[in-house]
Structures are given as structure tokens and as C-alpha cells.
Amino acid sequence: MKKITGKAMSRNQSDDEKFLSLDKTDKKILNLLQKNNQLTNLELAELVNLSPPPCLRRVRKLREYGVITQDVSLVNPFKVKQNLISFVSITLEKQGDDFLDRFEQKMNECPEVKQCYFISGDVDYLLMVHVEDIDTYNEFVRRVFVNSSNIKSFRSSFCLSRAKYDTSVIFNDK
């Protein structure tokens, strides 16, 4: 495990390149910021028992090395008519690195695709897709999947209700 790496994770990286060693204070900072990224540096420093300058340096390092990737406001899709959430299982015709890279690039270009995972098992990818309604989903499927020469099959499952939603990565800071 490397102490620091600035690279994002990809399919082709070794385990050594993927992980950053975090100490107890870093983990505490990350847990707190994931709950409320609106904390001021002064508030955060008090909560982790540091003075503000070293606290700010730690947060900047966590950003610099790609541990903290974004500061966002999470929007409830059910409150803004993005009511249809689909989990799509994709099987590709060909799975060579070039084909996988092209598929991933295409998914990154689709704003409807919120998450895309290369997975083990009977299928190659699992996607989470958010759209307004079934008509919009049908248009998305025709545009993205039906005309793709390398998609062997896809299966959609639709969210009926959301029982839990959590975006945090929890660190044991003990």
C-alpha cells in the first residue's frame, strides 16, 4: 500500500497504486466532511482536536491526492421528477481492454448513467440510470444500447421504492 497516490482507480492499476494510507485524524476528517461538507475549517479543526492551519493542510492533501473528489449537494430524484431509476445489467459481445474502455467512455458521456460498475459474474457491467419517466428511458435505451454493436444483451430492473440511500465511505477512526 502506497502512502500517497494521485491516480484515480481503474481496472488496470495494481493494488499498490489504488490505496492511500490514512491515519486516525484523516479518517475522522473524512467521516465528518461526508456528513456535512459545509463545516468551516475552524469547526472541523475543533471537532478533530487540531488547530486550523494543520487541519486545512490535511483537507488540502486529501483533495490533492484524490481522496476527496467533489463537494456536492445531493438532490432527491423523487422530488424533482427524475422518478425512474433503473439498474441495468450489460453483457458485452467482446471484452478486450479496447472494448471495455470504449464502453466505459460511452457510459461516462451519458448524463443519464449515474453509476457504472465493471463486475464479476454472469454480466460485465451494472449501471444505475436516472431518468424522468419510462418514455425517456425508452429513448435512452434506443439511443445507447440498441444501436451498439458490442452490447450482446441488457436487462433492466426498475426501482419501486428506495429503502436506504447513503453515499458515504465509513472509516473506523478509533
Could you tell me the CATH number of the domain that includes residue 144? 3.30.70.920
- For residue 69, being part of any structural domain is answered with yes
* 89 and 54 co-located in one domain: no
What total of structural domains would you count in the chain?
A: 2
Q: How far apart are CA 46 and CA 69, in angstroms?
A: 23
Can you list the alpha helix ranges (DSSP code H) found in the chain? 15-18, 24-35, 41-47, 52-64, 97-108, 134-141
Q: How far apart are CA 76 and CA 148, in angstroms?
A: 31
Confidence (pLDDT) at 172: 86
* 56 and 124 co-located in one domain: no
- What grid cell was written down for 158? 426498475
Domain CATH number, residue 18: 1.10.10.10
Q: Helix crossing, 24-35 with 52-64: angle to 10°?
A: 80
* 18 and 41 co-located in one domain: yes
Output DSSP code: residue 160.
S
- Tell me the pLDDT band of 3, cut-offs 50, 70 and 90: very low
pTM metric for this prediction: 0.78
- For residue 174, being part of any structural domain is answered with no
Confidence (pLDDT) at 5: 33
* 18 and 62 co-located in one domain: yes
Mean pLDDT on 12-16: 53
Confidence (pLDDT) at 15: 52
* 84 and 151 co-located in one domain: yes
68-93, pLDDT tens digit by residue?
A: 999 999 888 888 888 899 999 999 99
Range of the domain at 140: 77-158
- Tell me the pLDDT band of 130, cut-offs 50, 70 and 90: very high
* 46 and 88 co-located in one domain: no
* 44 and 67 co-located in one domain: yes
Least confident of 17-26, 103-112, 129-138: 17-26
